[in-house]
Structure 1
Amino acid sequence: MNTRKVVYLFFTTLIIGSISGAIVGVLLDLDTYLDGGFLNFLFGLLWMLGISAAISLVAQMGFFAYLTIHRLALGLFKSVKLWNRIQVILILFVLFDLIYFRYLAYADGDETIFGYMIMPFLLLLYSIIVAYFKMRDTNKRTFIPALFFMYVITTIEWIPALTVGTVNDSKWLWIYLAPLLTANTWQLLTLHRLTGDQKEKA
């Protein structure tokens, strides 16, 4: 992949992540943006674009970090099947953590754990769908790595929103998650098209 394609992937990911985060942020708090007039809306929109751009940069760092880890793991374990099994175990571990530890940290006395299962399972479902499209465009060996990237790496990138006590507000969780998901989805489904290698495993 040449420099032009790397630059293309960088800027398109940045733009897509920024716009998606800004749209979600404005829609989730539309009254606040509309009540103060045009300038309030404009500056609020620019603020959301800036936050979303920063989050999309985190997504890009996570993507290239996973590409490196993936290659190193394949060399270390000498077996695609073994590395895939480890990734599946880590996916299940992260799913458990997202549910149980957030429940312990944030649940009030009258809340049940079921309310904390919705977002992790929705994220898992979305990750499965994206991994399926990656597999369809490339080959069946890419499904587990793609699922791992979309679920585990996205969750790691999402940790700042999950660990700040005041951000248990679902609005901010979605504001952080939207640019991560769109940026990671775009990167994952675009890379093999840029490289022209339909056997790409990342």
Structure 2
Amino acid sequence: MNSRKVVFLFFSTMLVGAFGGAIAGTVLYDPLFAEGGFWNFIFGFIWLLGIGAAVSAIAQMGYFAYLLLNRLALSLFKTKKLWNRVQLFLIAFVFFDLFYFRYLAYATEDETIWGYLITPTLLLIFAAIVAYFKQRETHRRAFIPAFFFMYVITTIEWLPALIIPEVNDSSWLWIYLVPLLCANTYQLMLHHRLQND
């Protein structure tokens, strides 16, 4: 990719993440719009656009970090098959951590572990769907790397929201997650198209 394509990827991903975060925030975060009024809505929407843009910048750092990690891992593990197995193990490990450690840290006495399985499972299904479309547009071997990126790397990028007690189990978890999912899906599906142009 040349520098023009990298700049296009950067700004377009930021826009996608910003609007994804703003729409999620408008739907989920009532206190911001509780007073009503046109200008209150406009300022709140602009503020949410800024949050979405900042979160999408984190998503872009995660994407380029994964591209570097993937190259290093391929040279370290020697075969793509072994690296794919490691990625599948890490997906399972992160899935377990995502519900079990959140349950240990935040569950009250009347809560069961099953409630903490919903978000990791939905994220896993979403990652698998995106990976399937990536595989369909490129080649069969793209599924596991795309699945790993959409699940493990997105979870790592989401970690700051997950570990803050005031944010946990609130609409802010989704306001952080939606721009990450939008930005990561967009750049993953755009990358091969930019390379083929």
- 2:16 is aligned to 16
State the AA in 2 paired with 1:75.
Answer: S
Q: Give, in whole Å, the separation in 1 of the partners of 2:29 and 2:49.
A: 14
Aligned length: 197
Query: 1:35 deviation in Å?
Result: 2.6
Deviation of 1:54 after TM superposition, in Å, equals 0.4
Most deviating of 49-58 and 34-43: 34-43
Unaligned runs of 5+ in 1: 198-202
Tell me, in whole angstroms, the C-alpha distance in 1 between the residues paired with 2:177 and 2:23: 12
User: Which sections of structure 2, spanning at least 5 residues, go unmatched?
Assistant: none
In structure 1, what is the equivalent of residue 69 of structure 2?
69
Identity of aligned residues (%): 64
Judge which range, 23-32 or 103-112, deviates more.
Answer: 23-32
Q: Distance in 2 between matches of 1:165 and 1:83?
A: 35
Shift of 1:61: 0.2
Structure 2 partner of 1:176? 176
Q: Could you tell me how far apart the structure 1 residues matched to 2:30 and 2:170 are? A: 15
Contact 1:34 1:41 in 2 (8 A): no
Report the residue type matching 1:107 in the other structure.
A
| Secondary structure of 2:192 counterpart | helix
Whichever residue aligns with residue 4 of structure 1, its letter is: R
Letter in 1 for 2:185: T
Equivalent residue letter for 2:45: L
Deviation at 1:38, TM superposition (A): 1.5
TM-score with structure 2 setting the length = 0.97
- Aligned partner of 2:193 in structure 1 is 193
Answer whether contact 1:34 1:40 (CA < 8 A) is retained.
Answer: no
Structure 1 SS opposite 2:167: helix
The 2-side partners of 1:30 and 1:113 are apart by 28
1:119 has 2:88 as partner: no
Aligned to 1:200: none
Offset at residue 46 of structure 1 (A): 1.2
The 3-state SS of whatever aligns with 1:168 is coil
TM-score after normalising by structure 1: 0.95
- Which residue pairs with 2:135 in the alignment? 135
Quick one: distance in 2 between partners of 1:86 and 1:77? Answer: 9
Structure 1 distance, partners of 2:6, 2:196, is: 13
Distance 1:169 1:81 in 2: 37
Deviating runs (4+, > 2 A) in structure 1?
29-32
> In 2, Cα distance between the equivalents of 1:79 and 1:170?
42
